[in-house]
């Protein structure tokens, strides 16, 4: 229906919202459309980041053999990856996964989708800024991808881009690739700043009547806290990246000792951003799990306030632990000791969360739906990843395992086992509301179970080879005698990784097929209590009809004794209080 | 049709200072975990624009803390500061220039207090902008002189920290001036005269931030 | 079994690290098993069955306090247990007269032994590429430098790792307890040649070391090296 036709039908009484294709699907200011845009972007980048990981894995399992399908691209070597290309592969794998997969999906897509709908707002506080935020991030993504096509190849100094390796062209031979890495992250920083300002303002100012802070669903809490972390952490990276560009372009010496610079300065700046960043990656997933576990246990979340406060605690503590990435960097060892103490402390709020999730399951009526399975996978895999973090937190142990595959195992248990399973859970859970259609359950199981098994097959053995001493970021483990005997693990891991990749195919099929041909979704398919399920599926522009929902109770009122239904929506006034007040 | 029409195409709700937020009716209380505090409509805090500006300033503070701590790291690492054979920074002129910039903040305060007085508002904003421009010009002049002495961004840690910190602040003044210009144009066309004038106030907040940052940089880079 | 666990430890402080490693392994394994058993049990016991209603509860303050305090205590104890090993390895140096300088560069370890004058950087130094020879059971002080980017001194069997940062001279030490030949990789990404940047550390019996030094070091390595001064 074009704008013209609508007018012809005489909707004179109210403003109409037929904005045409461009304004509806491309330059949309509607938070739900922007959420979908972030989601598509993130999923697309996930395929690229994943395929890069498979490149890495191929090289590690069968070093210096032609990678299938690459003979046409790497013509000079007949498909064999060169060391510099290997470095480029894992650098871009990690950069893409962290900045252009997890952040867009968790903070971008679900931040946009959940915040207004779950606090009962019609849109974000600044819809246009919201649109700009997406397009800035999108541009950053394009710039990052463009780096693959410049002479000299893409950045190859690791996702951490330690100076001076990254600050002097001769050290890696990469010129434009590293510049593009900097420019892209600079742009991304601006984009996510716009987003986070928007989220914070929206949560503070735009809540529906009755939606007090402690009636907000925990996923909104988590996104709110994530936004604050993003807002404060990314500018630090931005400043570091600007210095790096100065060094590269103007010949200055922020990080070069010969000109009075300090190489460790980059590490301090990077990790001061980088550690809050890893919690930016996990907090939304924690929120998502806290959302999904109660729904499918038909039970209120265990310890709502503890859940909210532990996230706040994590956010605070995340600023003072960053030095645990630098235990053996040459930083003052006394500082290392201080960072060990704070790092140990930051495990406590995670412990609280873990046990509260278990408490939520206890005595529930657990329904093993696909989102629930993914949320349970999140909890269990996060526990494994978190526990491996304790090894590194202990400074003496970290001396040995730093920069080994033990760290790589830790990374992937928290980011894939944690964040990505969290993202899957969220996609399956909110898909009906997002697209108005149900996903296919059989395909969902076909995605979940192989993913779960192959995930563990891929990443669990990394602990073993890490303890055996295999370093990360090495091109060919067979160059080392002490690693020869565990090469079979590398083969197993790679087979697992390929299986993990193939397991994503049912997901992709399910996602797109359900989007166009899934069964139409009812308003509230999971019998959930939060506000988004009171809007139409998918919710129209401005989300609700003329009146906004009014909130009468907390977000997790399942199986309330006096009430017959096993869920009591937030909009439903408590019967016992009709008229009278408690106290 | 009308039912569906109302859902798909609802009349826009009353737009107040925050878009689409209707004044909350007091909900009944109770219900498990919800707290009982929210019976009355919450007193409104800051409006969206100023709240967002505040958080934007928060991000800016982090950005500058990155730069300033980098400055201190390099400075602590140097054997002598300022390094020998490097020109001394123009403390006096810059000190006077600091007063100019602080003056612009005073002008801004007066503009913000204009309360319905169109002429005072426009004059105040114009004066603010003018002082900002003077500040930038003086800075630019001093830079040109320093460069002519051979002191550039590649002059070791001393050069790079000086030009980066001061230059980035200069860029922020420039940005704040651009924002101010937009607000000034709006004010001349009669906007921002009646409260709430959120756009004006947000701009004022940012201006004060950029001004307040300067003395810190001045003390760190020039005086310490 | 040993084959897929930690490489053999041959350093004086390696035992401290391995002990802590196994302690944490035990703690985390027990915690992990408890969590998974509880979770599995709940999933089975409380799976959805007709006619049951979930328990309506918002939490239990006592329980929550317990599961905050207990992990916190465990972690505090763990921290205290980690401190001695850390200060032994990184914060103090056993007195020794054996100092070598390792100068890392893309993509080699350059090892220098001082000559009879006991000073580094003079004519009579002896330089080796990618190999280091040390006597057994003697604390060895390593002065780590880098000419270009950051590298990392890593000898898995010694349980030692220390980054070499350009512009600094970082001190590290180890004390090997068993003669042999130990692989010495670089553990910090340092460019396209990072993989394969490695050397060997040869640990000799005192007699063998004397022999090696007499044959290979200028001045026969008789003079003890001077204590290298840490960079101020
Ligand atoms: C989502 C991301 C995420 C998360 C949540 C975490 C969480 C944690 N991380 Fe991790 N970390 C990364 C992502 C993440 N990390 C990445 C990407 C790197 C590598 C960067 C690079 O170099 O490239 C890294 C590296 C890294 C290092 C540096 C290693 C090195 O390079 O030498 C350290 C060191 O301390 C560390 C520690 C921790 C700790 C203690 C936690 C804790 O928060 C974990 C807390 C959770 C639990 C402990 C489990 C649940 C609790 C219980 C079941 C209670 C009982 C527990 C006990 C009594 C022990 N991490
Ligand atoms: C943040 C999220 C994230 C995610 C999701 C992943 C996902 C994966 N990672 Fe990654 N990784 C990091 C973050 C992440 N990683 C980081 C931060 C580092 C450190 C980098 C550094 O050192 O600088 C790292 C490093 C890293 C290394 C170490 C490299 C090295 O040190 O030399 C390895 C090696 O195995 C690896 C493997 C994998 C694999 C196999 C996956 C798999 O889970 C990927 C699975 C997904 C797919 C395969 C794509 C989807 C599939 C399809 C669309 C179907 C088509 C596929 C087929 C037909 C097979 N990663
Ligand atoms: Cu040198 Cu890696
Ligand atoms: Cu960290």
Q: SS3 for C163? A: strand
Write out pLDDT tens, residues A75-84. 778 889 999 9
Write out pLDDT tens, residues C82-98. 999 999 999 988 998 89
Q: What is chain A's alpha carbon radius of gyration, rounded to the nearest angstrom?
A: 24
Q: How far apart are CA C193 and CA A32, in angstroms?
A: 47
Q: Which domains does chain B have, with CATH numbers?
A: 48-223 (1.20.120.80)
Q: Name the closest residue on chain B to residue A264, using Cα atoms.
A: B73
pLDDT at B2: 40
Q: How far apart are CA C81 and CA A22, in angstroms?
A: 62
pLDDT at C221: 60
Report how far ligand 3's centroid is from the alpha carbon of A235 (Å): 30
Which residue, chain included where needed, has tokens 């980041």? A49
pLDDT at C1: 37
- pLDDT category at C120 given cuts 50, 70, 90 is confident
Write out pLDDT tens, residues A341-353. 999 999 999 999 9
Per-residue three-class SS string for chain B: CHHHHHHHCCCCCCCCCCCCCCCCCCCCCCCCCCCCCCCCCCCCCCCHHHHHHHHHHHHHHHHHHHHHHHHHHHHHHCCCCCCCCCCCCCHHHHHHHHHHHHHHHHHHHHHHCCCCCHHHHHHHHHHHHHHHHHHHHHHHHHHHHHHHCCCCCCCHHHHHHHHHHHHHHHHHHHHHHHHHHHHHHHHHCCCCCCCCCHHHHHHHHHHHHHHHHHHHHHHHHHHC
Q: Residue ranges of chain A with pLDDT lower than 70?
A: 1-19, 575-583
pLDDT at B8: 42
- pLDDT category at B193 given cuts 50, 70, 90 is confident
Contact present, A514 and A437 (Cβ < 8 Å): yes
Write out pLDDT tens, residues A382-440. 999 999 999 999 999 999 999 999 999 999 999 999 999 999 999 999 999 999 999 99
Nearest Cα neighbor of A274 from A411, A86, A136 is A411
Q: How far apart are CA A266 and CA A241, in angstroms?
A: 9
Nearest Cα neighbor of A472 from A200, A86, A24 is A86
| Residue ranges with strand state E in C37-164 | 99-105, 108-113, 126-129, 131-135, 140-146, 151-155, 160-164
- pLDDT category at B103 given cuts 50, 70, 90 is very high
What number does the ligand 3 atom closest to the CA of C191 have?
2
Nearest Cα neighbor of A293 from A383, A239, A373, A224 is A373
Chain C hits for A164, Cβ within 8 Å: 148-150, 166
Residue B111 structure tokens: 């503009």
Q: In angstroms, what separates the C-alpha of A47 from chain C's closest C-alpha?
A: 26
Q: Report the length, in residues, of chain B.
A: 224
Residue A343 structure tokens: 């790092």
Determine contact: A136 vs chain B, CB below 8 A: no
Chain B hits for A261, Cβ within 8 Å: 74, 157, 160
Write out pLDDT tens, residues A313-335. 999 999 999 999 999 999 999 99
Which residue, chain included where needed, has tokens 């109409």? A16
Which residue, chain included where needed, has tokens 């880098």? C146
In Å, the largest CA–CA distance within chain A is 81
What's the CATH number for C3-91?
Answer: 1.10.287.90
* pTM > 0.80: yes
Contact present, B20 and A122 (Cβ < 8 Å): yes
Domain boundary assignment for chain A: 2-9+32-534
Write out pLDDT tens, residues B122-154. 999 999 999 999 999 999 999 999 988 888 888
Report how far ligand 1's centroid is from the alpha carbon of A389 (Å): 4
Does the CB atom of residue A325 touch ligand 1 within 6 A? yes
Give me the phi and psi of A581, to 5 degrees please.
-110, 145
Q: What is the DSSP track for A474-507?
A: -S-GGG-GGGGGGHHHHHHHHHHHHHHHHHHHHH
A376, with CB counted inside 10 A (0-12, 13-18, 19+), is buried
Helices A263-297 and A218-249, axial angle in degrees (round to 10)? 160
Q: How far apart are CA A328 and CA A26, in angstroms?
A: 48
Q: How far apart are CA A437 and CA A446, in angstroms?
A: 19
Q: Which ligand is nearest to the CA of A501?
A: 2
Percent of all residues in chain A with a pLDDT value above 70, rounded to a whole number: 95
Q: DSSP state, C6? A: S
pLDDT at A138: 97
- Determine how many CB atoms are found less than 10 A away from the CB of residue C189: 28
Q: Pseudo-torsion of CA A497, A500, A504, A505, nearest 10°?
A: 80
Contact present, A189 and A237 (Cβ < 8 Å): yes
Which residue, chain included where needed, has tokens 């707002």? A121
- pLDDT category at B27 given cuts 50, 70, 90 is very low
Residue C213: HSE in the Cβ half-sphere, 13 Å Cα cutoff: 24
Cis amide linkage into residue B82, ω under 30° from 0? yes
- B47/A552 Cβ within 8 A: no
Look over chain A and give the mean of its residue pLDDT values, rounded to a whole number: 91
- Determine how many CB atoms are found less than 10 A away from the CB of residue C222: 11
Does the CB atom of residue C102 touch ligand 3 within 6 A? no
Q: What is the residue with the minimal CA distance to atom 12 of ligand 2? A: A94
Percent of all residues in chain C with a pLDDT value above 90, rounded to a whole number: 74
Report how far ligand 1's centroid is from the alpha carbon of A312 (Å): 17
Residue A319 structure tokens: 């600023």
CA A178 to chain centre: 24
Collect contacts of B127-133 with beta carbons under 8 A, ≥24 apart. Answer: B128/B104, B128/B180, B128/B207, B129/B104, B129/B177, B129/B180, B129/B181, B129/B184, B131/B100, B131/B101, B131/B103, B131/B104, B131/B107, B132/B101, B132/B104, B132/B173, B132/B176, B132/B177, B132/B180, B133/B177
Cis amide linkage into residue C107, ω under 30° from 0? yes
Q: How far apart are CA A396 and CA A467, in angstroms?
A: 14
| Residues 7-46, chain A, touching C (beta carbon < 8 A) | none
Residue B217 structure tokens: 């940089």
Q: SS3 for C161? A: strand
Pocket of ligand 2 (CB under 6 A): A 46-47, 50-51, 53-54, 56-57, 90-91, 93-94, 97-98, 102, 158-160, 408, 411-412, 415-416, 420, 458, 472-473, 497-498, 500-502, 504-505
Q: How far apart are CA A397 and CA C79, in angstroms?
A: 12
Q: What is chain B's alpha carbon radius of gyration, rounded to the nearest angstrom?
A: 24
Determine contact: C155 vs chain A, CB below 8 A: no
Residue A117 structure tokens: 């709908």
β-pairing, C126-129 vs C108-113, is antiparallel
| Residues 252-291, chain A, touching B (beta carbon < 8 A) | 252-254, 259-262, 265, 268-269, 272
pLDDT at A581: 43
Chain A hits for C26, Cβ within 8 Å: none
- B34/A212 Cβ within 8 A: yes
Write out pLDDT tens, residues C149-192. 999 999 999 999 999 999 999 999 999 999 999 999 999 999 99
Report how far ligand 3's centroid is from the alpha carbon of C151 (Å): 4
Nearest Cα neighbor of B221 from B112, B106, B123, B75 is B75
Q: Name the closest residue on chain C to residue A399, using Cα atoms.
A: C161
Sheet holding C108-113, edge to edge: C126-129, C108-113, C99-105, C140-146, C170-174
Residue C134: HSE in the Cβ half-sphere, 13 Å Cα cutoff: 29
Determine contact: A548 vs chain B, CB below 8 A: yes
Residues forming CATH 1.10.287.90 domain(s) in chain C: 3-91
Does the CB atom of residue A500 touch ligand 1 within 6 A? no
Q: Name the closest residue on chain C to residue A329, using Cα atoms.
A: C163
pLDDT at C223: 52
Q: How far apart are CA A310 and CA C229, in angstroms?
A: 47
- Determine how many CB atoms are found less than 10 A away from the CB of residue A512: 12
β-pairing, C99-105 vs C140-146, is parallel
Contact present, A423 and A39 (Cβ < 8 Å): no
Pick the CATH number of A2-9+32-534 from 3.20.20.80, 2.40.10.10, 1.20.210.10, 3.30.465.10: 1.20.210.10
Report how far ligand 1's centroid is from the alpha carbon of B170 (Å): 40
Q: SS3 for A161? A: coil
- Determine how many CB atoms are found less than 10 A away from the CB of residue B65: 15
Look over chain B and give the mean of its residue pLDDT values, rounded to a whole number: 80
List, in order, residues 6 or more apart from A101 with CB less than 8 Å away.
A42, A45, A46, A49
- The dihedral of CA B44, B48, B54, B55: what is its sign? positive
Q: Give CA separation, A288 vs A52, A197, A384, C148, in Å.
A: 28, 21, 18, 45
Q: How far apart are CA C128 and CA B182, in angstroms?
A: 68
Which residue, chain included where needed, has tokens 């397991």? A503
pLDDT at B44: 60
- B32/A300 Cβ within 8 A: yes
- C20/A396 Cβ within 8 A: yes
Q: How far apart are CA C217 and CA C135, in angstroms?
A: 14
pLDDT at B157: 86
pLDDT at A576: 53
Q: SS3 for A82? A: coil
pLDDT at A575: 67
B45, with CB counted inside 10 A (0-12, 13-18, 19+), is exposed
Q: Which CATH architecture has domain C99-216?
A: Sandwich (2.60)
List, in order, residues 6 or more apart from A297 with CB less than 8 Å away.
A360, A361, A364, A365, A366, A367, A558, C46, C54
Q: Tell me what the mean pLDDT of segment C213-224 comes to.
A: 73
Q: What is the residue with the minimal CA distance to atom 9 of ligand 1? A: A389
The shortest CB-CB distance from A215 to any of B20, B34, B158 is to B34
């Amino acid at each position: 229906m074009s704008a013209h036709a609508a007018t012809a039908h005489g909707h004179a009484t109210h403003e109409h919202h037929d904005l045409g294709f461009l304004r509806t699907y491309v330059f949309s200011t509607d938070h739900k459309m922007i959420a979908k845009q972030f989601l598509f972007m993130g999923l697309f980048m996930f395929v690229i980041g994943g395929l890069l990981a498979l490149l890495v894995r191929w090289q590690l399992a069968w070093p210096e053999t032609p990678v299938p399908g690459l003979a046409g691209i790497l013509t000079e070597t007949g498909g064999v990856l060169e060391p510099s290309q290997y470095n480029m592969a894992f650098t871009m794998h990690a950069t893409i996964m962290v900045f252009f997969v997890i952040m867009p999906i968790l903070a971008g897509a679900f931040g946009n989708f959940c915040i207004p709908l779950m606090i009962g707002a019609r849109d974000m506080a600044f819809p246009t800024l919201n649109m700009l935020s997406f397009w800035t991030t999108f541009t950053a993504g394009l710039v990052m991808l463009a780096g693959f096509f410049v002479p000299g190849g893409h950045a190859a100094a690791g996702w951490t881009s330690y100076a001076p390796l990254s600050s002097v062209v001769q050290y890696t031979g990469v010129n434009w690739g590293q510049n593009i890495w900097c420019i892209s992250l600079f742009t991304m920083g601006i984009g996510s700043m716009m987003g986070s300002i928007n989220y914070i303002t929206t949560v503070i100012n735009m809540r529906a009547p009755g939606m007090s802070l402690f009636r907000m669903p925990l996923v909104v809490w988590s996104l709110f806290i994530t936004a604050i972390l993003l807002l404060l952490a990314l500018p630090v990276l931005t400043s570091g990246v600007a210095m790096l560009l100065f060094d590269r372009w103007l010949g200055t010496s922020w990080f070069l000792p010969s000109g009075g610079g300090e190489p460790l300065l980059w590490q301090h700046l990077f990790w001061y951003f980088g550690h809050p960043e890893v919690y930016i990656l996990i907090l939304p997933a924690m929120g998502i799990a806290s959302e999904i576990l109660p729904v499918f246990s038909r039970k209120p979340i265990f310890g709502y306030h503890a859940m909210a406060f532990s996230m706040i605690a994590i956010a605070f503590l995340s600023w003072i632990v960053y030095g645990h990435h630098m235990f053996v960097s040459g930083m003052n060892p006394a500082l290392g000791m201080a960072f060990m103490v704070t790092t140990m402390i930051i495990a406590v709020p995670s412990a609280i969360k873990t046990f509260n999730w278990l408490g939520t399951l206890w005595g529930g009526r657990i329904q093993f739906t696909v989102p629930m399975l993914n949320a349970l996978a999140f909890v269990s895999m996060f526990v494994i990843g978190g526990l491996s973090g304790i090894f590194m937190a202990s400074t003496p142990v970290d001396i040995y395992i730093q920069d080994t595959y033990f760290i790589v195992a830790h990374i992937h248990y928290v980011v894939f086992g944690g964040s990505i399973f969290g993202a899957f859970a969220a996609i399956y859970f909110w898909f009906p509301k997002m697209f108005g259609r149900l996903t296919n359950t059989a395909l969902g199981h076909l995605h979940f179970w192989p993913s779960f098994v192959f995930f563990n097959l891929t990443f669990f053995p990394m602990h073993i080879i890490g303890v055996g001493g295999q370093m990360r970021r090495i091109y060919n483990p067979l160059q080392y005698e002490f690693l020869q005997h565990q090469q079979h693990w590398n083969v197993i891991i790679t087979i697992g990784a390929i299986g993990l990749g193939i397991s994503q195919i049912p997901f992709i099929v399910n996602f797109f097929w359900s989007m166009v041909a899934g069964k139409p979704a009812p308003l509230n398919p999971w019998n959930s209590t939060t506000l988004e399920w009171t809007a139409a599926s998918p919710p129209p522009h401005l989300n609700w009809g003329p009146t906004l929902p009014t909130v009468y109770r907390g977000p997790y009122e399942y199986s309330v004794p006096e009430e017959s239904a096993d869920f009591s929506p937030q909009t439903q006034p408590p019967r016992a209080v009709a008229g009278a007040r408690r106290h | 049709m009308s039912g569906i029409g109302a859902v798909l195409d609802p009349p826009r709700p009353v737009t107040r200072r925050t878009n689409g937020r209707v004044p909350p009716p007091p909900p009944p209380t109770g219900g498990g975990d919800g707290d009982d505090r929210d019976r009355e409509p919450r007193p409104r805090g800051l409006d969206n624009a100023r709240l967002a500006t505040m958080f934007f300033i928060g991000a800016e503070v982090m950005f500058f803390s990155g730069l300033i701590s980098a400055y201190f790291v390099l400075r602590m690492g140097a054997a002598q500061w300022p390094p020998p054979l490097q020109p001394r920074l123009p403390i006096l002129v810059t000190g006077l220039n600091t007063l100019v910039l602080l003056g612009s903040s005073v002008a801004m305060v007066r503009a913000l207090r204009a309360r319905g007085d169109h002429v005072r508002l426009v004059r105040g904003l114009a004066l603010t902008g003018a002082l900002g421009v003077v500040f930038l010009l003086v800075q630019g002049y001093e830079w040109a002189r320093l460069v002519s002495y051979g002191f550039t961004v590649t002059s070791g840690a001393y050069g790079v920290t000086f030009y980066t910190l001061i230059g980035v602040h200069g860029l922020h003044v420039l940005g704040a001036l651009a924002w101010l210009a937009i607000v000034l144009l709006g004010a001349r066309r009669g906007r921002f005269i009646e409260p709430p004038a959120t756009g004006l106030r947000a701009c004022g907040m940012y201006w004060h931030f950029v001004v307040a940052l300067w003395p810190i940089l001045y003390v760190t880079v020039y005086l310490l | 079994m040993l084959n897929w666990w930690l490489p053999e430890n041959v350093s004086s402080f390696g035992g401290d690290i391995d002990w802590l490693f196994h302690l944490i392994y035990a703690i985390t394994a027990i915690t992990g098993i408890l969590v998974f058993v509880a979770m599995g049990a709940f999933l089975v016991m409380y799976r959805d069955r007709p006619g049951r209603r979930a328990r309506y509860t918002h939490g239990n303050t006592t329980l929550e306090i317990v599961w905050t305090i207990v992990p916190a205590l465990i972690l505090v104890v763990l921290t205290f247990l980690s401190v001695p090993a850390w200060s032994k390895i990184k914060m103090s140096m056993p007195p020794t007269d054996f100092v070598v300088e390792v100068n890392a560069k893309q993509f080699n370890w350059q090892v220098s032994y001082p000559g009879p004058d006991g000073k580094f950087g003079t004519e009579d130094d002896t330089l080796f590429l990618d190999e280091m020879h040390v006597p057994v059971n003697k604390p060895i002080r390593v002065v780590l430098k880098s000419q270009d980017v950051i590298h990392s001194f890593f000898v898995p069997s010694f349980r030692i790792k220390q980054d070499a940062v350009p512009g600094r001279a970082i001190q590290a030490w180890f004390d090997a307890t068993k003669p042999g030949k130990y692989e010495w990789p670089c553990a910090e990404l340092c460019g396209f040649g990072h993989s394969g940047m490695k050397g060997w550390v040869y640990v000799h019996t005192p007699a063998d070391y004397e022999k090696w030094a007499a044959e290979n070091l200028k001045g026969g390595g008789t003079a003890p090296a001077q204590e290298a001064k840490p960079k101020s």
